[in-house]
A and B are shown apart, each in its own frame.
Chain A
């Protein structure tokens, strides 16, 4: 990290328009081998009359265009990326090398099991490791992302209630929860009911105990919760839900805080999803792919999706025929290439490494919180944060008019990706910071200095913050205009 104050990151030049703007009739990049069979066009009745209006460009045009675009993008390899709730840790390069090798990458999803023993064994061992980390009995690795894992968990919940003849209608969710939780609940056919947070940022357990009844299918929760705080009363919370025959669902977004310290299974959770792109460092691809494996307790194993990987002595097989299963949740076997990367991460770390990951993640978050607390107080100062913390720019805003958004944009000019802002929704001017374990004290010190500098500037040079960022290819973008005057393609 360079010194704070200097523009530390070189921005690529702005691209001169889209790849379509570079199109020249007749220019081409592709090549194909000579046709070695008789020409046989598709029947005329089905033929396309006019070619699709795609760009006509040379290969060098393509390389320069997309290289330029990449230079206008900030990734983990560019610098610190402390997005709260996202666990943006360093993505080990060896995982890329292994997962993209032909032995894993050039496998057809429907080739016979006997010809995919290596991948099936890997998926089976990955499932075993995920169960060990979470304290679950079995898992599916099929869901391609965390939200799909949520959906899978809710469908398992629904199937289990149906099998037991229980008519359930609602799923309880803390008011601080990530938006995917209520969206998944609704699409899973349930009504989402918000559980209030207490003044300490934890679930109001008394309120929860009054809310649970025979209509409740289950409760969805992260622990540490969305505010980065450990729910101390988790055992009581789980017992209250179990008492009415409901299931307790663990949203794995914050698993990075507790590995080797405790397990969702020990806390009373029945269903757990894991975000491999958070906890297990699979690269997030600018928005995806991810993977969202789901583990369950013994009672819910019959409902897991198919196909499942089973072990039969030395052999691994895909099993499709499970009458109680909710069915398949992905067209094939999930984001297998991502699961290979997650397995590599688990082998590298092992039992001690994973505990160290969580230890250092929590250490980093507490350290950074301590450095910036004076300017950006914790939203819930009574409780020590775990792997991430929620601070608030509300005091700064009332003194200077400078908002969390302005701080975030100024931090960009100071050379960093900012934290999450305005989430969780229950905190005013929220700044949710998750440094992760792979960042050094040097980086944390530099980032804290940038935040404190921005806070100081808020009093002395507020216009600097309102105008930020100025070091990027574009300044603040007019989002309202984008939604009003829809331009969604060239």
Chain B
């Protein structure tokens, strides 16, 4: 048993004497006898660190990590390269073992890093203001919708290209305030843009690139939403914004993203990074922490949590959100990753993804029986195929050959597979994928 409690027996006796208690049990007197546990917890006894490492090692060998599988899976979580500087710095325990910066004089490091994160999110998206992170991309979308709804406007319309994972999450949280959540059809894998929306629509959501990998005409969506008095929310991919026009140039009101691909491990789904940026006119509706610059008593610049009157600890039931703990450390990692990339690196990263995806699209659709699900559709780093066999069978067969070939898209039919190609994939890996696909697809 390892407990990290440093007390000696003598100290315990001295401490009890100071308290005026006979033994430690006396300190639990307030728990009524009939509520006290008569047996130990139904858990195994504690073990040493060495044994824990061995046990976790046993579990890890039951996983097949991306060190073993060549990853072509995406759908919101991507195998991008993480430079060493990111966690060498974000992992410093002055950052990682701190609490929320309630004492700003002791927390200038985290506060400034978050200020830089907000600044970089504005630079990336072209939006006017960013918060200091939310849980993940899906819950960031939920928060953006909460910002948009109001009395008489409880309807949300999601484009057909919005990932069903995101739609499901919106539906879950929408049950509270009674939102009407509607997803349009996308017969071409994208678009399906109606000419107008009902007057009670609070927000229209478009994902760009969308779940099928297709680039959307965001500006057209924004115009349609605005003509009906609704906000336009764009779900974007941060790694695309070196090469693709940012939400701020497309008439978007609130831009949200899954930020995992900025310096964060895949880690089977989390911890990830929810990004939310918007217009200054909406800043008081925004959820979560926001860091602002100010000065101290001597006039020196410094950083504090600001606009806290929006937040739960001040506004309680009238708060814009219930979020308290966020994903600060993931935001710091993203900040360092973007500093490492810079404007040129972000562009080259985007170009690499686009070129490798285009190459993979060509060689994979050359495999007999494999066809594009949406021929001619413009893409960035992801695309959808139709296979001659059920996609999940093909994925399983490819795994046996060391390739994670993509993510099935059952809403399109059992033969649909979404393939993602990041800058990490080499031509040789892509060629091998196509050869193995030819073997297993037929």
Contact = CB atoms under 8 A, between A and B. Distances in A.
B281 interface: no
A118 interface: yes
A353 B129 contact: no
Chain A: interface size category:
35 or more
A164 interface: no
Interface in B427-442: 427-428, 430
Contacts of B349: 30, 32
A286 B98 contact: yes
Contacts of B301: 474
B378 A46 contact: yes
B138 to A, nearest CB: 3
Chain B: interface size category:
35 or more
A54 B52 contact: no
Residue of A12, A145, A439, A488 most packed against chain B (CB within 10 A): A488
Contacts of B328: 285-289
Contacts of B64: 111, 115-116
A477 interface: yes
B51 to A, nearest CB: 8
Residue of B30, B58, B122, B341 most packed against chain A (CB within 10 A): B30
Interface string B331-365: 01001101111111111111110111111000000
A352 B268 contact: no
Contacts of A351: 40-46
A1 interface: no
Interface string B401-430: 000100100000000000000010011101
A446 B56 CA distance: 38
Nearest to A230: B30
Interface stretch (B106-114, B191-199, B224-232): B106-114
B152 interface: no
A65 B338 CA distance: 14
Given A28-B342, A62-B340, A488-B291, A356 B5 contact: yes
A417 to B, nearest CB: 6
A359 B24 contact: yes
A36 B101 CA distance: 46
Contacts of B132: 287
Nearest to A257: B28
Interface in A462-487: 467, 469, 472-479, 481-483, 485-487
B242 A366 contact: no
Contacts of A348: 1-3, 46-49, 52
Given A104-B56, A155-B175, A350-B43, 17 more contacts: A52-B124, A94-B49, A102-B67, A148-B322, A179-B311, A180-B313, A188-B176, A327-B171, A334-B269, A347-B44, A351-B42, A353-B1, A355-B40, A355-B41, A357-B5, A439-B6, A474-B296
11 contacts: A36-B428, A37-B355, A53-B343, A55-B342, A56-B342, A56-B343, A121-B62, A144-B270, A234-B35, A262-B37, A343-B56
| A-B interface, 5 closest residue pairs, ranked by CB to CB distance from nearest | A103-B60, A332-B269, A350-B46, A73-B109, A285-B329
